[in-house]
Amino acid sequence: MDKLPFRFHSAQLADIELPKEVARLRELAYNLWWTWTPHARRMFSHIQPGLWAMYRNPVELLINIEPHHWEQLLEDEIFLTMYHSVLREFDAYMKPAAATWFNQNYPHYKGGPFVYFSTEFGWHESLHTYSGGLGILSGDHCKSASDLGLPFIAIGPLYKNGYFEQEVEPDGRQQHFYPAYDFARLPLMPLLGDDGRQLTVSVPFPNREIHVRVWLAQVGRIPALLLDSDIPKNEPADRPITGQLYVSGREMRICQELLVGMGGVRVLQALNIEPSCWHMNEGHCAFLTLERIRALLHQGVAFPAACKEVAKNSVFTTHTPVPAGNEAFDVALVRKYVKQCCDETGADINKLLALGLPHPDATNEPFSLTVLAIRLSTYCNGVSQLHGKVSNDMWRHVFHAKPKEEPVKAITNGVHTQTWLGWQMADLYDRYLTPAWRQNLMDEMFWKRGVTNIPDAELWDVHAIQKDNLIRCVRARVRTQLARHGCSPDELRELETLLNRDSLTIGFARRFATYKRADLLFRDFDRLRAILKNPRRPIQIIFAGKAHPADKPGQELIRRIFEVSRYSDLRGHIVFVENYNMRVARMLVQGVDVWLNTPRRPHEASGTSGMKAPVNGAINFSIADGWWCEVQNPDAGWTIGNHHTTPNPDQQDHEDSQSLYDLIENTIAPLYYQRGPDGLPGEWIKHMKASIATVLPRFSTARMVRDYVEEAYLPAAKRAGATLNGSTETQW
């Protein structure tokens, strides 16, 4: 963090006693760098494999190691070699003078940090601060911000109960459980204030103050500050505000979003940090703008001028391609929570509320956080080229834009390559592309040349190893699930043959929203049966995903697919894995042959799951929606249907399902099972290499974060008065 003029002070709560010879294990455990560093995870696993397999959390692991166990480890040359090797790698990464992309390209940058607000962060499954794609994107954004050396701070809530744990009953019904997490046993540290105590700030609510304490998650080089309302200072009714992620109650939801937006601004004020850019990742964070306006009004700035001042270095990213998916609240509810601010500052409450109304003169419309963020930002973007066009059409009236103007820009999402890459595949890249591939994630020619150097046999062997890992993981999880259902030992023993390494394996895993059409495969059950059970070309499909507790149609999709997987003659060809999380996602994208994506166009803003599979050699099979529209290489995957939509959803589903069946039956399966004289599927491997070389460099968060820096962050910083190369007039 050498670009930032401050240091954070933190303390560790966990009771961890370590021998002095390995004392820096504590430092490694509390830096989420280990989540994308295979050598670090293997080192922690070596300490106690059973405990690591249980927790996959180094803080919990170190808490539970018996003191006498260290005596053995200190005489274990393999462990000590791993420990010192990982420390060298960590120190080289964290070194202030590291030759990061930002340091090399903007060595004279002088300005505040880029601050990134999000209501969820998917860094690792041990931290329950995410639910799905938005959180995974936020987590990957942070990791690449660290890799690239940005002056960057992340801010969001810390949920006591997180998002729900999923269990599927024998009849397919989804059950929801919300465990209470002990933050002292997670890779989190209390952030300390000047008094040496955990930093707390207060946020004004109607007739009371809500207090939030601040936790630090260190993500490589960058800090993430997480807000927690579950403290004794608060009334019992207010402590659960940061309880559940995406709580169903509308008033509790607005309380969460006010607390994060306004509280996050106050945390930065308490730390004397003046950001040069404020990035709102989706509208959930938009209330931060009101807190910034409040501060300016207290300084005597007039309301219109305060709005302009806030907007000039605010950046907003929208992720939702349909109006109904954008966060909105009843105006009376918003009035209840902003009235106090207006009374204190003398602001006209109706003018304040008008900032969030799509049509300010229409009093019957709800208050939209997306509209609020648009009106109080100077830069707005969608998350794929298609989504940018959809967003311009959707919000043109808010911008008062002419038909051909495009006020909403587009920065296509990406994924953090090292997080989603299997370590066996990473080792293969090390051998044939050299370890320099980590510094060349954005270089398309590097990947095009490098992938051709990988021998077909070795690529296929590594893919088979990762596929075996997936199969073992799925068998174990299904066994646990069916044992809970009361299945007999003989039924559980049958799971030893569940899934076959040699069979074409398709993965489908995501949030079970109805527009994602998880049931598109099942429109013609007889045809699906004939395709999957072809004795010469058998196919197996693995499903995983959750539906929000309030989403009954999504839960019905899960019930139907689970029923097929257990009680139809496609048992074994269709498998449903419960409690989808980041670990399940990693295993799937690393082990499947094909990644299936079937949203109703154009409802998928971007979609990132299909970007994770190709880095491991899997091939996409997708509707022409979101990011997939930008892939021009036909060898990199297959497109379902065409690039057009019909006004009749049932007709669209019929056409897309027929295209899906035709491609699987006549193109994908024959290609997979076609073997050359050497026993290898040469043409299939050609597609695997095209998938890697086409997708990996173009759709990484390294490229995405670079685009944010150059198109959004630095221009915002310049408007805020930051200097680059010694002059605010410098162009970049």
- Residue 721 binned pLDDT confidence (cut-offs 50, 70, 90): confident
**Which residues are CB-contacts of 194 (< 8 A; sequence separation ≥ 6)?**
none
Give me the helices (H) in 30-186, please.
Answer: 38-47, 49-55, 58-63, 69-73, 77-94, 101-105, 133-147
Question: Containing H/E element for 392?
Answer: helix 385-399
Q: Is residue 343 within 8 Å of 204, Cβ to Cβ? A: no
Nearest to 615 by CA among 426, 394, 390: 426
The pLDDT, as a whole number, for residue 433 is: 96
Q: Token match 């006010």: residue?
A: 258
pLDDT at 675: 97
Q: What average pLDDT does the structure give for the chain?
A: 94
Both tokens of residue 391? Answer: 């967003």
Q: Which long-range contacts (CB under 8 A, 24 or more apart) does 670-677 make?
A: 670/537, 672/504, 672/537, 672/593, 673/504, 673/536, 673/537
DSSP for 701-727? HHHHHHHHIIIIIHHHHHHTT-BBTTB
Q: Alpha-carbon distance 351 to 297, whole Å?
A: 14
User: Could you give the domains of the chain?
Assistant: 20-94 (no CATH), 112-170+197-413+707-719 (3.40.50.2000), 421-699 (3.40.50.2000)
| Section 151-177 average pLDDT | 96
Rounded to an integer, what distance in angstroms lies between the CA atom of residue 151 and that of residue 113?
5
Query: Residue 494 and residue 474: Cα distance in Å, rounded?
Result: 13
Q: Please check the confidence at residue 552 and state whether its pLDDT lies above 80.
A: yes
pLDDT, tens digit, 9 for 90 and up, residues 594-625: 999 999 999 999 999 999 999 999 999 999 99
d(CA 119, CA 317): 13
The overall pTM is greater than 0.85 = yes
Backbone angles phi, psi at 270, to 5 degrees: -65, -30
* pLDDT at 265 exceeding the cut of 50: yes
Task: Answer whether 394's CB lies under 8 Å from 694's CB.
Answer: no
pLDDT surpassing 80 at residue 266: yes
Bridging pattern class, strands 152-157 and 165-168:
unpaired
C-alpha–C-alpha distance, residues 410 and 391, integer Å: 9
| Residue 203, strand partner residues | 210
Report d(CA 296, CA 622) in Å as an integer: 48
DSSP state of 72: H
Rounded Cα distance between 575 and 571, Å, is 7
Task: Output the pLDDT for position 608.
Answer: 94
* pLDDT (0 to 100) of residue 726: 53
First to last CA, the chain: 22
Phi, psi values for residue 208, rounded to 5° = -165, 170
Nearest to 47 by CA among 12, 85, 20, 74: 74
660-694 residue pLDDT tens: 999 999 999 999 999 999 999 999 999 999 999 99
- Residue holding tokens 């290499």? 689
Q: Which residues pair with 315 in a beta bridge?
A: 279, 379
Give the pLDDT mean for 13-22.
Answer: 90
Distances (CA, A) of 560 to 164, 168, 170, 529, 626: 21, 12, 12, 16, 27
